[in-house]
Chain A
Amino acid sequence: MFFDLISEARTGLLTRPGRTALTVLGTVLGVAALVATLGIAKSAGNQIVGRFDELAATSVVVTSTLGNDQVLTLLPWDSEQRITRLNGVAAAGTITPVATGGALTAAVPIHDPRGQAEFQLPVFAVSPGLFAAARTQLLTGRTFDAGHSQRQDNVAVLGPGAARRLNVTYIDRLPVIFVGDQAFVVIGILEQVGRTPDLADAVVIPEGTAQHIYQLEAPTTVQIDVEIGAATLIAEQAPIALAPNTPQDLRVLKPAEPTQLRADVADDVNVLFLILGGVALLVGAIGIANVTLVSVLERTGEIGLRRALGATKYAITAQFLLESATMGFMGGIIGTSIGIAVVAVVATTRTWTPVIDPWIPLAAPIVGTLTGLVAGAYPAIRAAGLEPVAALHNA
């Protein structure tokens, strides 16, 4: 009985391979669209989070400036050394705005009446480690080292915006800029300012120099680049290392919990793509239903004949459901493979890491099978319910 059912279903599928292939194609398209959409969504979401992670999840900032420029505790001059000693810190450096009393900055000491050659540019004093801690990138030249600061050299690094406005592009001839009447030799120009967007239009000078020329009182902010996973720990330890007696007077900015963040972003992207995938599946399912419906209706005569030869309604329904479920399953498997291939290709061309939830390759064939079953159920049950002679007349 059971073997008959299987062999009849197999015959039904194999005797008309063209029709079977067409029916399967409907499922293939639907499932492939679903899998591809979900996979691309996941990969894209992962990518977004990954980029975000890199900059944010490894950055801790400690500042002594509370709201309204209120300062309760001064940061020590050796902040960089104190923080770098902590385990889990990749780099650290201080950054402090310098009050120049409204001095204008110019590339040449001559006043040019025709065009503007003087600008009010912010000046920042930084310790040597800041450039690494902020993940800045140099366009040309070099950054400071500890010697510049100790010798209180009049050297400067320009942010990309400042360099453009001052029209400084080459540093091989040691260009000099003037902040008020102080001359600085430009030794480097930044291309990327990384975590310190303030530096984009700024003139950056060594801490020791700022102490000497502008009587800088103390650093105000420490930028720390931590190793992945160490952010929470460093955020706790840094204030104690910097101000052992009054750590509560410092403000710490640390990244949001990365796992939470990852989940949030991924959820947002997933919801969007799940809707798209659902639409794709729905369209696919309607396609499958349509083809299955037509192919079962087309076989009403065959159903009538089988009934006349003694097949029960149950046997007919079971055979046709088995056929459409098998087609749905095959379509699901092929569709899943194609979908995964599409995700892999898209991810590769975009240099993403392809990510697919492990349940998708398992669930997709089931979805295909269920769609086949649902689509086949209505016409099969209807045709099986006809009196044999009525079904035969439909042939």
Chain B
Amino acid sequence: MAREPIALLTDLERHFAAGDVIVRALQSVCLTVEHGDYVTVMGPSGSGKSTLLNILGLLDRPTAGTFHLDGIDVGTLTDRDRCHLRARRIGFVFQSFHLLAHISAFQNVKLGTIYTTTPRAKRRTLAYEALERVGLAHRADFLPPTMSGGERQRVAVARAIVANPSLLLCDEPTGNLDTETGSTVLDVFAELRQSSDLTLIVVTHDPDVGDRADRTVHIRDGFMVTT
């Protein structure tokens, strides 16, 4: 039996009302992502990449069109079900990290587990392992404002992978990293894909990231450009 694609977007539209003008951030987007795929999304600034990722991460709702996650039309789900999917199935690395400034890197990572069903006793271990994976075990007790941009980005990656998601969405996860640490993060992704059935969708400007991916989709002015 063929599995449903993990993400299926059909005629997706996302419009924003900015004053009098309507910004069409996404227009008739159709996209199929199979389980285990590694897809990069590329396109100029303002083309709608983050908007697309937000919808895939159930952080935003499309203006029109449908999004099926594992065959389920998520537009029909209750808020509670969408929350459970976010907590248990999806990991998200934000373009601007969104770390809480007043708690340590370790606690920030642990925050990725508290809305899951992971037993409390196991969360500390998971958080520590995730930090170790991105090479930041020695920064566990640092507060985010005292860390470098690259370190913060890796904390954000650790938080996204800590709950072992099946769909990992990354908005420029290597944007602030030098080539070497960038490739550490990419190695982590590769490892995760090997050890589990992880699906990766990564927004990037970095051709290195694109090279490692199975395929790349391009977006321009809200339209998908097939290559």
Proximity bits, B79-101, A CB within 8 Å = 1, else 0:
11001111110001010001010
Q: Does B116 lie within 8 Å of A310, measured CB to CB?
A: yes
Q: Contact check: which of B54, B100, B102 meets A389 at CB < 8 Å?
A: B54
Known: A309-B111, A310-B116. A392 touches B102 (CB 8 A): no
Contacts of A309 in B (CB 8 A): 86-87, 111-112, 114-115, 159
Known: A305-B98, A389-B54. A312 touches B80 (CB 8 A): yes
Q: In the complex, which residues 86-108 of chain A have their Cβ closer than 8 Å to any Cβ of chain B?
A: none
B23 at the interface (CB under 8 A from A): no
B173 at the interface (CB under 8 A from A): no
Contacts of A315 in B (CB 8 A): 115
- The distance from the CB of A126 to the nearest CB of chain B, in whole angstroms, is 83
- The distance from the CB of A394 to the nearest CB of chain B, in whole angstroms, is 11
Q: Does A3 lie within 8 Å of B83, measured CB to CB?
A: no
Contacts of A306 in B (CB 8 A): 111, 115
A311 at the interface (CB under 8 A from B): yes
Q: Does A310 lie within 8 Å of B88, measured CB to CB?
A: yes
Contacts of B107 in A (CB 8 A): 11
Q: Does B57 lie within 8 Å of A387, measured CB to CB?
A: no
Contacts of B94 in A (CB 8 A): 308, 392
Q: Does A4 lie within 8 Å of B103, measured CB to CB?
A: no
Q: Contact check: which of A15, A308, A310, A395 meets B84 at CB < 8 Å?
A: A310
A392 to B94 CA separation, bound complex (whole angstroms): 10
B15 at the interface (CB under 8 A from A): no
Known: A8-B114, A301-B98, A315-B115. A307 touches B103 (CB 8 A): no
Residue of B nearest to A11 (CB): B103
Residue of A nearest to B115 (CB): A310
A390 to B103 CA separation, bound complex (whole angstroms): 23
Most A CB atoms within 10 A — which of B61, B83, B120?
B83
Contacts of A395 in B (CB 8 A): 98
Q: Does B59 lie within 8 Å of A387, measured CB to CB?
A: yes
Residue of B nearest to A301 (CB): B98
Proximity bits, A300-325, B CB within 8 Å = 1, else 0:
01101111111111110000000000
B60 at the interface (CB under 8 A from A): yes
Residue of B nearest to A305 (CB): B98
B residues neighboring A (CB under 8 Å): 54, 57, 59-61, 79-80, 83-88, 92, 94, 98, 100, 102-103, 107, 111-112, 114-116, 120, 159
Q: A308-B92, A312-B83 are in contact. List 12 more A-B contacts (CB 8 A).
A: A3-B120, A4-B114, A11-B103, A15-B102, A305-B111, A307-B59, A308-B86, A308-B94, A315-B115, A388-B59, A389-B54, A389-B60
Query: Top 10 nearest A-B pairs by Cβ distance?
Result: A310-B87, A310-B115, A310-B86, A15-B102, A389-B59, A389-B60, A388-B59, A312-B83, A305-B98, A389-B54
Q: Can you list 6 contacts pairing A with B, beta carbon distance less than 8 Å?
A: A4-B114, A11-B103, A15-B102, A311-B87, A313-B79, A387-B61
